[in-house]
């Protein structure tokens, strides 16, 4: 069994949860915050049998889009050389999805 941890953008979360549930996956949705942008994102936990992992990854890849975001509140902007870059906008491409696949040693439901 695997635990899939997928960090995705809020905009994609509802659709991805629906698609995963419709396909019979169990999903837990967490409200999370990205360390770089310091803005909200969504983390999904999906426990899957090994043979269903590829199907789950395929849905994540299908639904999650990459988007450009402009930020002025990066760590560099906040703490850079004498605040030199404090108000310089920085464009970053976020997502589609950052996915970790972890082996599950044990799985219990009580
Ligand atoms: P954030 O940390 O808010 O990062 C948002 C986007 O900012 C990143 O998109 C990346 O394009 C850019 N970025 C991040 N760190 C940067 C840096 N030091 N310099 C320049 N640009 C930087 P993604 O790579 O698609 O990541 C989206 C979100 O996924 C991240 O939000 C974070 O919450 C999570 N994430 C990404 N890599 C991770 C990792 N290795 N471990 C844990 N979480 C991760």
For 32, counting Cβ atoms within 10 Å of its Cβ (0-12 exposed, 13-18 middle, 19+ buried), the class is: middle
User: Which of 38-47, 67-76, 87-96 has maximum average pLDDT?
Assistant: 38-47
Whole-number average pLDDT of the chain: 91
Domains annotated for the chain, with CATH where assigned, are 2-66+94-103 (3.30.70.120)
**Which one has a higher pLDDT value, 79 or 50?**
50
CB distance 36 to ligand 1 below 6 Å: yes
CB distance 34 to ligand 1 below 6 Å: yes
Which residue is closest in CA terms to ligand 1's atom 44?
98
Among 16-20, 29-33, 35-39, which is the least confidently predicted range?
35-39
The total number of residues shown for the chain amounts to 110
| pLDDT, tens only, 52-83 | 999 999 999 999 999 999 888 666 555 555 55
CB distance 95 to ligand 1 below 6 Å: yes
User: Residue 51 gets which letter from DSSP?
Assistant: G
Distance between Cα 6 and ligand 1 center (Å): 12
């Amino acid at each position: 069994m695997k635990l899939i941890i997928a960090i995705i953008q809020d905009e994609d979360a509802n659709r991805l949860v629906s698609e995963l549930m419709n396909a019979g996956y169990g999903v837990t949705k967490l409200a999370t915050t990205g360390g770089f942008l310091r803005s909200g994102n969504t983390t999904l936990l999906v426990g899957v049998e090994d043979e269903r992992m590829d199907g789950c990854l395929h849905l994540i890849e299908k639904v999650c889009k990459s988007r450009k975001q402009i930020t002025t509140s990066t760590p560099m902007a906040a703490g850079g050389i004498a605040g030199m870059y404090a108000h310089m906008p920085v464009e970053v491409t976020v997502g589609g999805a950052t996915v970790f696949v972890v082996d599950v040693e044990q799985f219990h439901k009580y």
